[in-house]
Structures are given as C-alpha cells and as structure tokens.
Amino acid sequence: MLSRFIQEFLTHLKEEKRFSPETVRGYGIDLQQFKVFLTEYDPELLKDVARIDRPTLRHFLGMLAETGRDPRSMARKLATLKSFFKFLHREGKIPLNVAAFVQTPKLRKSIPTFMSEAQVTELLDTVGNDGTLLGARDHAMLELFYSTGMRVSEMATLTKSQLNLERMSVRVMGKGSKERVIPLGRSAVDAMEAWLKLRWEFLADRELVSEAVFLNKFGKPLTAGGIRIRVKQAILQIADLKKVSPHVLRHSFATHLLNRGADLMAVKDLLGHENLSTTQVYTHVQTDKLKSVYKTAHPRASRTGH
C-alpha cells in the first residue's frame, strides 16, 4: 500500500504541481529511504500506513542522525514526509497527518559556497575555449549559468524558443512552472550564438530533432546529471572548493550582484525564490564590504586623536 501511495504522490507532484523531474526524483529518493526504514522497523506499517505515528517518524530521524546525516539533510527529508502525509490526509488515505506534529531539526546557517570574481573570470576565459564542439557547448553553459543564476533543472529543460538573444534575455521555467525573464550579459549572448551555430552538427545525419538548447554528443538533450558532471569538472580545474556543483555558479551570481550593490528584492526575483528569507542567506557576504565602507565613510568610525 505504501508503494502505491508513494507513486500516487509522485504523480501528483509531476502532473498537478508541475515540479521538475529532478525535484520529483528527489522526493522519490527520500520516500524510498523511508520505506526501507519501515521494512526493518515494522514491516506491517507498509501495509497499514494509517498506523504510522509520531514515534515512528522520530525513530526515522534518529536513524538518520546515527548514520551521520546533517540537520539540513534531515530537515529536507522531514519536509518530504510532511508533504507526503499532507497529501495522504487531503486525499482521505489517512485520518491524521502525523508528520505535521514533528518538529523540524534546528538548522545552523551555512554559508553558500561561491567563487571569487577573479576565479569566475578565469573559469570563463579558459574552460571550453579549445575550438571543439563540446568546448563551445560547455563554454556556453558556464556563461549562461553565471549570467542568469538559473538552476540545473531549468537549464536541462531549456529550449531554443525560450532564448531571445536579440533582446538579450531568456525565459526560464522555474519551480512550480513559475516563469521569469532574466537579462543576459553580452558575454553570455556571444557564447550562446557561437554554440547555436555549431549545435546543428550534433544533429547532422541523425533522425533526431530536439528543441533542447544543450545536447550531448549523441544529439540528445543533455540531462541534469550530465550538466552537473561537466560543470563540476570545469570548476575543479580552476578552484579548490569544499563543495563543487553548478549551484556554485548560482551562488556566485547572487553574491557578486549583491557585492556590487544590487537590490536584494531584485536578486530574489532573478533567482526565482518564492520567499525573501531564502535569498537572505546571501546577505552575509556583504558583511566585510559593509565594515570597510563604514570605516571609510563614517566620521567617527576610527578616532586617531582628539
């Protein structure tokens, strides 16, 4: 029964909530892990989901803690369960949403990993500029990531019709199918134009027609996983970071905009955040800059004498 409920929930996320395939996949992984836990904890609960109670969910979180999961990962998995049980309750599958009464683990505020402007410049000036088809594609991806701050899932589903290079903008379909238009910098436009002129060679002599902007060497749309691998390899050539992923360029995009005086609300809209609190995680990066400005500009910031 639990397996059927999970499938119905994932279908709901995909077809009604219009979540991206990557997001739905994440929910599925979390719920599959919960299913495995129940198999060992109490297999009967797999058949009678209504018997799952708060102690069961707390035991699940305890198991995650024992296996070294950090609070942020635990909070995400609990959020998945809260959404799942809310769906089951609304659909009349269970009489009570027990997950609603389980507290989310306290999270320590983590600082997003980002690259310096110099590192990004080196990345964009060197990676992918080898004169090859794949090099042109990868360079265009990196330029687009940094110019827009878009998510991996958004880039993986990007089609040619969403690009308007003449107006230097791109129309992005974000979470929940929410659309936003992001300006493109000149470097990104140039890189995209160069790639699109070569892109057809991946389709030549093949009975394939794809609207996807980025293709793999077989002429098929480049998946989110494929994009992650290419971007990670590119970043590792330039920077030694604790965490390497395409999100590093998204974080760098937001950080550099704020450091150069961009309005927080504008950055929120560019990133496609629903709540300002999500964007505020970036405000820490301005602390050193603000201290420097304060010391320079405030009449009584430093007193050398009377």
Nearest to 112 by CA among 277, 261, 233, 241: 241
Is 12 annotated as catalytic? Answer: no
Is 228 annotated as catalytic? Answer: no
Catalytic one of 250, 251, 256, 268: 250
Is 300 annotated as catalytic? Answer: no
Is 59 annotated as catalytic? Answer: no
For residue 38, give the H/E element and its range. Answer: helix 21-41
* Cβ pair 84, 147 in contact under 8 A: no
Is 251 annotated as catalytic? Answer: no
Is 282 annotated as catalytic? Answer: yes
Catalytic one of 89, 93, 273, 284: 273
Catalytic one of 151, 199, 230, 268: 151
Burial class (CB in 10 A: 0-12, 13-18, 19+), 69: middle
Catalytic one of 82, 247, 251, 256: 247
Strand order in the sheet with 179-183: 163-164, 169-173, 179-183
Buried b / exposed e over 105-121, threshold 16 CB at 10 Å, is beeeeeebbbbeeebbe
Catalytic one of 146, 230, 251, 282: 282
| Cβ within 8 Å of residue 146, ≥6 positions away | 120, 124, 188, 249, 252, 253
Cα radius of gyration rounded to whole Å, the chain: 23
- Alpha carbon 43 to chain centroid, angstroms: 34
Q: For residue 258, count other CB atoms closer than 10 A to its CB.
A: 20
Nearest to 162 by CA among 221, 213, 220, 224: 213
| Cβ within 8 Å of residue 243, ≥6 positions away | 113
Q: Tokens 């198991």 — which residue?
A: 63
Catalytic one of 17, 175, 180, 220: 175
Nearest to 155 by CA among 201, 243, 221: 221
Catalytic residues: 151, 175, 247, 250, 273, 282
